[in-house]
Amino acid sequence: MRKTYRIGILGATGAVGEELITLLQERKFPIAELRLLSSERSAGKQLVFDDQSVTVQSVSAEVLKGLDLVFASAGGAVSRQWLPIAVAEGAIAIDNSSAYRMDPEVPLVVPEVNPEDVVQHCGIIANPNCTTILMCVAIAPLHRAIPIRRIVASTYQSASGAGARAMAEVKVQAQAILDGASPNVEVLPYPLAFNLFLHNSPMDGSGYCEEELKMVRETRKIMGEPSLALTATCVRVPVLRAHSEAINLEFAAPFAPDKAREILRHAPGVMLVEDFDRNYFPMPLEATGKDPVLVGRIRQDLSHTCGLDLWLCGDQIRKGAALNAVQIAELLMARGLL
């Protein structure tokens, strides 16, 4: 008989939490009990899982007892407060916040890239940042063929990365502008409809924002390359859902674009999307709701004999967050660790 698990989702009413619920059902995860957890503000809300109404509960030490697995998508402060308690009660926690990503005792896992790292967990496994996940899925197969020496990443990040309220705000702003009115700004720092701005995460003294530094630090950890040269520029763009990235790669030796295409065509979690004659390449509209990272426009870097350029799009809420977390759980199951 197939083993079933008692699962908790912390942050169940958020965009990622609701996607987790959908994915657990779609992928037929073996669930004996599902507890949907949130702050007191959202407690009592009804959500649907497997055609059954489930009441959202306020998170507490008591409600975390007896769980086998906890998915956390409620922010770093919530994860730091509650995940040690869940682990002490016997659960394994998969954390979607940045709270534990750079902790040397916590594995940071993209199942297509470093699945072996899950065995090192001490109760908590960190889910990387969305832009990092999407990029690593695309570049890791190439790195295995010829080592990458340097990465230059430029991201075009959708409103979904700032949550459901940001997505709703962009829609309202767009209508206001079309009606000749001034757009209202509440969730994001500036109007995003018909606009773009550099990612609004906090800046450090070097001029890099937190989002850019996440890409640098997390990629090095996931790929096991602590000295990998990497720089990033992260931009918020007026797209509702799915992020895009322009990636420039410098390898240890020349890398033929056709060889890269052949590798990516067979890489797990990647869908090659290329038609140069039609100028048809990955688009966020087509990545929305899809599990694979769409990769295309692979070409020789004209400025470097060992360089390649590529373009990718991926659903930030699915593979960039919820799907990666569920895949980590499936990996734990497959290896007998859950």
Would you kindly state where each structural domain of the chain is located, as residue ranges?
5-128+321-334, 132-316
Biggest CA-to-CA distance, the chain: 63
Q: What pLDDT does residue 203 have?
A: 87
In degrees, rounded to 5, the angle at the alpha carbon of residue 337 between the alpha carbons of residues 52 and 71 is 40
Strands (DSSP E) contained in 11-68 are 31-38, 46-49, 52-55, 57-58
Quick one: which of 90, 40, 239, 95 has its CA closest to 155? 239
262: CB partners within 8 A, 6+ apart? none
pLDDT in tens, 72-125: 999 999 999 999 999 999 999 999 999 999 999 999 999 999 999 999 999 999
pLDDT in tens, 268-325: 999 999 999 999 999 999 999 999 999 999 999 999 999 999 999 999 999 999 999 9
Q: What pLDDT does residue 325 have?
A: 99
In degrees, rounded to 5, the angle at the alpha carbon of residue 218 between the alpha carbons of residues 300 and 195 is 70
Write down the architecture of domain 5-128+321-334 according to CATH. Answer: 3-Layer(aba) Sandwich (3.40)
Contact 251, 149 (CB under 8 A): yes
- Active-site choice (136, 143, 243, 313): 243
Q: What pLDDT does residue 41 have?
A: 84
In degrees, rounded to 5, the angle at the alpha carbon of residue 129 between the alpha carbons of residues 113 and 186 is 160
Q: In residues, how long is the chain?
A: 338
Q: What pLDDT does residue 205 have?
A: 85
CA-to-CA separations, 191 to 159, 163, 194, 231, in angstroms, rounded: 11, 15, 8, 27
- Active-site choice (121, 130, 136, 209): 130
Mean pLDDT of the chain: 96
Residue 40 banded pLDDT, cuts 50, 70, 90 = confident
Is 266 known to be catalytic? Answer: no
Residue 179: exposure state from Cβ atoms within 10 A (0-12, 13-18, ≥19): exposed
pLDDT in tens, 162-183: 988 999 999 999 999 999 999 9
Q: What pLDDT does residue 117 have?
A: 98
pTM of the predicted model as reported, rounded to 2 decimal places: 0.95
Task: Give yes or no for residue 36 having a pLDDT over 80.
Answer: yes
104's tokens: 């040397």
Which CATH superfamily hosts domain 132-316? Dihydrodipicolinate Reductase; domain 2 (3.30.360.10)
Out of 37-51, 70-84, 214-228, 253-267, pick the least confident.
37-51
Task: Determine phi and psi for 291, rounding to 5 degrees.
Answer: -85, -40
Q: Which residue has the higher pLDDT, 80 or 202?
A: 80
Share of the chain above pLDDT 70, in %: 100
CA-to-CA separations, 83 to 67, 91, 93, 127, in angstroms, rounded: 12, 9, 7, 14
Task: Give yes or no for residue 2 having a pLDDT over 90.
Answer: no
What's at 305, amino acid-wise?
Answer: T
Q: Which residue has the tokens 């957890």?
A: 37
Taking the C-alpha atoms of residue 10 and residue 304, their distance in angstroms, rounded to an integer, is 46
Is 130 known to be catalytic? Answer: yes
Q: Which residue has the higher pLDDT, 81 or 205?
A: 81
